[in-house]
């Protein structure tokens, strides 16, 4: 008889921190919408007693500085006792952290990912997770980014978001919305 690995899912909440919200050092476009969606998924994972991992970026310059309000995880998705918090110092949530070993120790096979900033930290985590063999679901409306500039042209946040998420959808992740995910 063949022994198949049983699917075991974890939620990965990436950098949903105060500096990305209004009044923060690096405000994104509509982070509130993304955090409310992330909160709905977080509540579902809590009620189902599934593994939850919060990723908190702490930087040496710019934003997410130690001992500031901006570095704190946003109130919508505050960790509770027993939920893992990973501290990182670079965009990739796996690099220089114990995230991979923690997921392996807990026999996680599938990751549901949401967070901020889509084109940097979310993108790098999704790609790394797939490279490490995880099945990845990305919740597009539980992620946020900002307007970017390239060669004097402004690329609006919604286009940045669509470009990166559509690229990830090709190979790296199953992309869905919060409502679709919660109503499966």
pLDDT tens by residue, the chain, 184 residues = 445 569 999 999 999 999 999 999 999 999 999 999 999 999 999 999 999 999 999 999 999 999 999 999 999 999 999 999 999 999 999 999 999 999 999 999 999 999 999 999 999 999 999 999 999 999 999 999 999 999 999 999 999 999 999 999 999 999 999 999 999 7
Q: Against a cut of 0.75, is the pTM above it?
A: yes
Please report, for residues 21, 36, 65, 138, 164, the alpha-carbon distance to residue 144 in angstroms, rounded to integers and kept in the order given: 10, 11, 20, 12, 11
How far from chain centre, in Å, is Cα 24? Answer: 19
pLDDT at 4: 58
Provide CB contacts within 8 A for 88, sequence distance 6+. Answer: 55, 56, 57, 58, 95, 96, 97
pLDDT at 171: 96
């Amino acid at each position: 008889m063949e022994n198949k690995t049983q699917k075991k899912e974890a939620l990965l909440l990436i950098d949903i921190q105060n500096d990305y919200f209004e009044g923060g050092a690096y405000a994104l476009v509509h982070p509130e919408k993304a955090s409310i969606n992330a909160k709905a998924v977080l509540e579902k994972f809590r009620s189902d007693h599934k593994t939850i991992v919060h990723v908190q970026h702490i930087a040496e310059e710019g934003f997410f500085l130690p001992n500031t309000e901006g570095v704190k995880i946003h109130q919508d998705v505050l960790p509770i006792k027993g939920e893992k918090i990973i501290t990182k110092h670079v965009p990739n949530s796996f690099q220089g952290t114990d995230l991979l070993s923690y997921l392996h120790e807990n026999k996680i096979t599938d990751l549901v990912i949401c967070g901020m900033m889509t084109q940097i930290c979310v993108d790098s985590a999704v790609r790394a997770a797939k490279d490490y063999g995880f099945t990845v679901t990305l919740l597009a409306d539980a992620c946020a980014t900002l307007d970017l500039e390239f060669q004097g042209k402004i690329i609006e946040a919604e286009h940045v978001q669509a470009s990166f998420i559509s690229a990830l959808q090709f190979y790296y992740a199953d992309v869905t919305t919060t409502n679709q995910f919660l109503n499966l």
